[in-house]
Amino acid sequence: MKNLQTQGEGNEQKKPSRKAVVRLILLIVVTATVFGVYRFLMGYPYFEVVLAVYMILATAFLLSYVIYNRGLSRKGITADMLPVEWSDEEKKEFIADGKRRQDRSRWLLIPIFAFFFTFAMDIMELFVIPFFAELFTK
């Protein structure tokens, strides 16, 4: 019966934190900016240079995130998974370092998402939409 409770009967909804809302707004602004600049520069000659710069930037952000987080090797690690010969203090520091690195590099996910969203929209426009348009016009 607990699952059937309505919101007014003690089942309180969790509000998103201010930090999460700011991150979401920042994500939308950065994505719109990256996508808008890309679309604007599509009409200019030497668009291949713009595409190459965008690809290099996306790769640089992604590699920076992965390298800084040490290949994400510390994600989801518990003390039980670490070598037995390590002290409890070493295990705690290892896990805390992984968490600290993920928190410090979280901002890199915003431009990574923005660039990959831009590339996904470009792929949709170049390949997916024409495929379905051709499919339904025959």
The first and second tokens of residue 33, run together, are 């900016």
Please give the DSSP secondary-structure letter assigned to residue 127: I
Instruction: Look at the block and give the residue holding tokens 């203090």.
Output: 89
Task: State percent of the chain over pLDDT 90.
Answer: 66
Determine which of 7-11, 13-17, 39-43 has the lowest per-residue pLDDT on average: 7-11
Q: Phi and psi dihedrals of 5, rounded to 5?
A: -65, 145
- 98 contacts 79 by C-beta, under 8 angstroms: no
- pLDDT tens for 32-56 read 999 999 999 988 888 899 999 999 9
What is the per-residue DSSP string for 13-63? PPPPPHHHHHHHHHHHHHHHHHHHHHHHHTTSS-HHHHHHHHHHHHHHHHH
SS3 74: coil
pTM of the model: 0.80
- pLDDT tens for 75-127 read 888 889 999 999 999 999 999 999 999 999 999 999 999 999 999 999 999 99
Is the pLDDT higher at 10 or at 109?
Answer: 109
HSE of 130, CA atoms in CB hemisphere, 13 A: 6
Return mean pLDDT, the chain. Answer: 89
